[in-house]
């Protein structure tokens, strides 16, 4: 009834072609499982290869570093040629710079002391009336 399926896991080696595929995928910014699949491996195979041969992990790190270097040079060249957005991007993302934010609120309002005293007196009278009214109610009615 059941047939045995012969399973033999692939023996991966860090060949030059495989390292180049890892490097290229990392250069494009892929990470983790996506990097492994783009390099032609299953994610578990890629993790195993990195554990068995540190050169595979070095190819990934080298791909990321070269990509960052290339893009950084392009961004710095654009900033040096007068691109304000490129210069701002460098300042914000590499040097943790934020533009100063100024908020200026000018409110010109006259306060009438006479009106303020009248309002305060009205409030005091209302509170006194409520207190008087509470004291005058017999306990049975509460």
Q: Residue 96: pLDDT band by 50, 70, 90 thresholds?
A: confident
Q: What is the pLDDT of residues 1-45, one digit of tens each?
A: 567 766 677 777 888 999 999 999 999 999 999 999 999 999 999
Spell out the domain ranges in the chain.
16-94
pLDDT at 118 over 90: no
Average pLDDT score over the chain: 82
Burial class (CB in 10 A: 0-12, 13-18, 19+), 33: middle
Report if pTM > 0.75: no
> What is the rounded average pLDDT of the residues 114-125?
80
Q: Are 81 and 41 in contact (CB under 8 A)?
A: no
| Predicted pLDDT of residue 131 | 66
Of the candidates 5, 4, 46, the residue with the CA atom closest to the CA atom of residue 22: 46
| Residue 142 reports pLDDT greater than 50 | no
Place of tokens 């030059």: 16
């Amino acid at each position: 009834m059941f047939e045995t399926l012969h399973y033999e896991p692939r023996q991966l080696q860090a060949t030059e072609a495989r390292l180049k595929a890892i490097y290229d995928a990392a250069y494009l910014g892929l990470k983790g499982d996506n990097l492994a699949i783009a390099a032609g491996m299953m994610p578990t195979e890629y993790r195993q290869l990195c554990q068995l041969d540190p050169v595979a992990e070095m190819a990934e790190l080298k791909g990321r570093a070269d990509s960052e270097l290339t893009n950084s040079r392009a961004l710095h060249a654009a900033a040096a040629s007068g691109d304000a957005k490129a210069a701002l991007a460098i300042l914000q993302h590499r040097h943790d710079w934020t533009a100063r934010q100024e908020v200026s609120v000018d409110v010109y309002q006259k306060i009438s002391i006479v009106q303020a005293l009248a309002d305060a007196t009205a409030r005091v009278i209302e509170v006194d009336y409520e207190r008087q009214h509470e004291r005058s109610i017999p306990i049975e009615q509460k």
